[in-house]
Amino acid sequence: MNKPAAPSVNFSAFVPLVADDDATVRALVAKMLLNMGFKTVLQAASGADTVKEIQRQQPDIVICDVEMPPSSGLEVLKALRKSGSAYARTLPFIFLTAHTEQEVLNGAREWGANAFLVKPVKPDTLAERVGRLLAGVAPRKQI
């Protein structure tokens, strides 16, 4: 069975944020995104840093680990979706996870996760998910 092709998106106009407490995973995903054509990839190592980077840099999409002690990616997503900001409530959000438990996935969906990527992340799957969420969307700004 063939996977759907990633939509044709000019990734160079967008800025993603990769959030993971594991520096190796962050670097790997950032490199994949750069290889896809993104010019800049923001990074965060904790939930608190993720929220700060979102507020400060306003990325076009967030790719975030579910578990980032001491806070979780789910807590980041909840804070965004509860905010009064239309930007934060609609920011495309992809969870990176080693979890496939239905309870974790359902909780993330309830709070507005747009997609999931199971670790280890594969470049073609990353391109498809990111491309699907950014297709037809105007970039927020150039950082």
pLDDT tens figures, 23-76: 999 999 999 999 999 999 999 999 999 999 999 999 999 999 998 888 889 999
Domains of the chain, residue spans: 15-134
Q: What pLDDT shows up at residue 108?
A: 85
pLDDT tens figures, 66-123: 988 888 899 999 999 998 899 998 999 999 988 667 777 787 888 899 999 999 999 9
1 pLDDT exceeds 80?
no
* Dist. CA 13–CA 33, nearest whole Å: 12
- The CATH classification number of 15-134 equals 3.40.50.2300
* Dist. CA 20–CA 44, nearest whole Å: 7
Question: In which residue are the tokens 């594991």 written?
Answer: 22
* Dist. CA 112–CA 81, nearest whole Å: 7
pTM exceeds cut of 0.85? yes
* SS3 assignment for the chain: CCCCCCCCCCHHHCCEEEECCCHHHHHHHHHHHHHHCCCCCEEECCHHHHHHHHHHHCCCEEEEECEECCEEHHHHHHHHHHCCCHHHHHCCEEEEECCCCHHHHHHHHHCCCCEEEECCCCHHHHHHHHHHHHCCCCCCCCC
